[in-house]
Chains A and B, each alone.
Chain A
Amino acid sequence: MKLLEEDEIETFSGLVKEHQAGLRAFVRALGVDDVWVDDLAQEAFLVAYRRRDDFDPEADFGKWLRGIARRLVANERRKAGRRSRLLHDSLTDLLMEAAPSEEPAAIRAPELFAAMQGCVAQLPPRSRELLHCRYSQGENAVQLAERLRMQADAVRQSLVRIRVAVKACIERKLEGAWL
């Protein structure tokens, strides 16, 4: 019995590996605070695991999973009286509206990430360094500004310009709609 469950967990782990990147990005795009994205995405996988018997093997697992994540975010939105894991109520409402509800689109994580890597590689060294410090070192604009002797707003502006340039590059690479 125990072995059977271990097998099930291993099988399900394969699905977690396959879908985690896209699901996390999907959860973030629903207006979840960045530090809580993984927490909520894990919750979605836990719910999916508990309800695995309800899943039709012929159906699209990713779509089912995104539906669960969407419901979790909607539940979080309804919670009152305590700080939630969302960005801001109004922003989350708008982002939930912007995400297709009937057929939540799959995020093609590997393809997007490969395109991103290519675009980031084309950036000037200083821009790449800024992205590295922001994401790999986890430094926010205030910390970066202190270290680089700049204003935090100026660091944010630089980062936004870099992000806009990378996104435009991805749109060119992937030719139009990619989300």
Chain B
Amino acid sequence: MALDRDRYQALLGCLLDGAISDAESEELAQMLNSEPELRRDLREHLVLWDLWAQQATLERSATSFLAAWKTRLAAEAGADEFREAVRAKLETVAPRAERRTQAEASEARLVTWMAALRRPAGLAWAAAMAVVVLTGSLWLVLPRSAHATVTIHGEAVCTACVLHQTHDCHPAIRVTSEGATQIYYLDSNQAVAGMQGRFCSGPTPAVATGTTATKDGRRLFEAATVFWPGDQKPRDPQEMDGRVLFPF
């Protein structure tokens, strides 16, 4: 079969634009299968344009990548501590049960768990466990979003008083790297709620983790968390009014 180079390039364009359909992917795969040279060409384009995207997109910079890796490493350590805490709690229940017969022990465990569930602290643990299980299930079941989580480092600014772009104050993060400046317009969601003062009180160092999208040439950012490096601890809406919902 003669190679239709124009068609290959059209499919390559769709793929590099993230707009290739399953049928087009299959068609491209068939072309690559019969033309090993095209495989090399595609591989080279993927490498080149990913490198270019890394340099051109601030949220993909080396600094952001390293920060995100450290965040994930810290999250893993946090998960280990959580597991240890659960194990320690279970071990405090176990010795009493061990002195009984197996049937009594099973019954005792059930009763202990039920009793623990009735206590506020027990409820919090159960809620935490339920959230972990539910989150995991949703992650497995739901189709993946087209947006991966990224971390941006910059300054929290207000679109009115600092950027002078709007009449009302909307939260944004200004990221400057290697002479380039990018404004990320934050969605006013739960993660940002109650933090308006931070944005309106002038540029404040901030680290946000979330997803980005582009609309009308503007970079939009849906934050999952916003950290204030000056505080040395994360702030979230639960902390704002003194309540911490989960013990991790």
Contact = CB atoms under 8 A, between A and B. Distances in A.
Given A38-B148, A91-B25, A138-B214, A159 B17 contact: yes
Interface in A133-173: 133, 135-143, 147, 152-153, 156-157, 159-160, 163-164, 166-167, 170
A34 B148 CA distance: 9
A86 to B, nearest CB: 10
Given A83-B144, A91-B25, A157 B13 contact: yes
Contact of A20 (B13, B18, B66): B66
Interface in A101-122: 107, 109, 112-113, 116, 120
Interface stretch (B41-49, B94-102, B155-163, B225-233): B41-49
A71 interface: no
B15 interface: yes
Interface residues of A, number: 70
A170 B26 contact: no
B148 A36 contact: yes
A39 interface: yes
Contacts of B150: 38
A35 interface: yes
A109 to B, nearest CB: 6
Contact of A136 (B12, B50, B56, B149): B56
Contacts of B133: none
A74 interface: no
Contacts of A21: 51, 54, 62
A68 interface: no
A136 B180 contact: yes
B55 interface: yes
Between B16, B36, B76, the greatest number of chain A beta carbons within 10 A of the residue's beta carbon is seen for B16
Nearest to B63: A17
A107 B46 CA distance: 12
A38 B60 contact: yes
B212 A24 contact: no
A20 B65 CA distance: 8
Interface residues of B, number: 64
Given A17-B66, A116-B52, A163-B49, 16 more contacts: A16-B69, A28-B47, A29-B43, A42-B68, A42-B69, A42-B72, A45-B69, A109-B51, A135-B57, A136-B56, A139-B214, A140-B19, A156-B14, A156-B19, A157-B9, A178-B44
Instruction: Across the A-B interface, give the 7 residue pairs with the lowest CB-CB distance, nearest first.
Output: A88-B25, A90-B29, A156-B13, A135-B56, A28-B50, A98-B39, A160-B13
Interface of B: 9-10, 12-20, 22, 25-26, 28-29, 32-33, 36, 39-40, 42-57, 60, 62, 65-66, 68-70, 72-73, 76, 140-141, 143-144, 146-150, 180, 182, 212, 214-217, 219
28 contacts: A17-B66, A25-B48, A25-B50, A25-B54, A28-B46, A35-B18, A39-B148, A41-B65, A42-B68, A46-B69, A49-B73, A82-B141, A85-B144, A88-B25, A88-B29, A90-B26, A91-B28, A94-B39, A95-B43, A107-B51, A131-B56, A138-B219, A139-B217, A140-B214, A143-B216, A156-B17, A160-B13, A178-B44
Interface of A: 9, 13, 16-17, 20-21, 24-26, 28-29, 31, 33-39, 41-42, 45-46, 49, 82-85, 87-88, 90-91, 93-95, 97-99, 107, 109, 112-113, 116, 120, 131-133, 135-143, 147, 152-153, 156-157, 159-160, 163-164, 166-167, 170, 178-179
